[in-house]
Amino acid sequence: MVVAAIALPLGSGCRRPPKDKPNVLLISIDTLRADRLGAYGYRLDTSPAIDALAKRGVRFADTTVAWPKTWPSVAAMVTGKPPQTNGILLRPRRPLPAENVTLAEALHGNGYATGAVVANVNLAKSFGFDQGFEHYVESWAEEAVKQTGSASFRNSPGLVKRFTNGERVTDQALTALDALGNGKDKPFFLWLHYIDPHGPYVPPPAFARFFVGAHESRPVPLEDLPPYQLQIDPATGQVSNDIGFYEGQYDREIRSLDDQIGRLLKALDERGLTRDTLIVFTADHGESLWENDYYLEHGDVPYQTTAAVPLIFALDGRFRGGRVVEHPVGVIDLYATILALTKTSPPPGIASTSLLPVLEGEDDATPRNVFMISGKYEPWQLSIREGPWKLVLLRAPQDRDWLHAPERALYDLSRDPHEQHDVSAENAELAASLEKKLLGWFSGTPRFAGGAATDLKQLDGRTQEMLRGLGYLE
Ligand SMILES: [Zn+2]
Number of domains the chain is built from: 2
- The whole model's pTM is what? 0.93
Do 209 and 172 have their domain in common?
yes
Distance 197 CA to ligand 1 centre (A): 9
Residue 168 CA from chain centroid, whole number: 19
Q: What is the pLDDT of residue 19?
A: 79
462 within domain boundaries: no
Please name the amino acid found at residue 434: L
Distance 30 CA to ligand 1 centre (A): 4
Distance 399 CA to ligand 1 centre (A): 21
Do 57 and 139 have their domain in common?
yes
Distance 199 CA to ligand 1 centre (A): 10
Residue 221 CA from chain centroid, whole number: 30
Do 246 and 393 have their domain in common?
no
29 within domain boundaries: yes
Distance 320 CA to ligand 1 centre (A): 30
455 within domain boundaries: no
Distance 433 CA to ligand 1 centre (A): 32
Do 71 and 157 have their domain in common?
yes
Distance 383 CA to ligand 1 centre (A): 19
57 within domain boundaries: yes
Distance 373 CA to ligand 1 centre (A): 15
pLDDT digits (tens, 9 = 90+) for 237-276: 889 999 999 999 999 999 999 999 999 999 999 999 999 9
Distance 198 CA to ligand 1 centre (A): 7
431 within domain boundaries: yes
Do 352 and 289 have their domain in common?
yes
The CA distance from 178 to 206, in Å, is 29
The CA distance from 357 to 363, in Å, is 8
pLDDT digits (tens, 9 = 90+) for 313-356: 999 889 999 999 999 999 999 999 999 999 999 999 999 999 99
Please name the amino acid found at residue 411: Y
Distance 364 CA to ligand 1 centre (A): 30
Do 225 and 113 have their domain in common?
yes
Domain that residue 432 falls in:
377-449
Percentage above 70 pLDDT, the chain: 91
The CA distance from 136 to 250, in Å, is 28
Q: What is the pLDDT of residue 13?
A: 45
Q: What is the mean pLDDT of residues 135-160?
A: 70
- Measured from the Cβ of residue 12, the count of other Cβ atoms closer than 10 Å reads 10
pLDDT digits (tens, 9 = 90+) for 378-429: 999 999 999 999 999 999 999 999 999 999 999 999 999 999 999 999 999 9
Distance 417 CA to ligand 1 centre (A): 23
Do 83 and 34 have their domain in common?
yes
Distance 121 CA to ligand 1 centre (A): 10
Distance 284 CA to ligand 1 centre (A): 5
Do 109 and 176 have their domain in common?
yes
Residue 153 — φ and ψ, nearest 5°? -110, 160
Does pLDDT of 11 surpass 70? no
157 within domain boundaries: yes
394 within domain boundaries: yes
Do 384 and 359 have their domain in common?
no
Do 183 and 241 have their domain in common?
yes
Do 30 and 177 have their domain in common?
yes
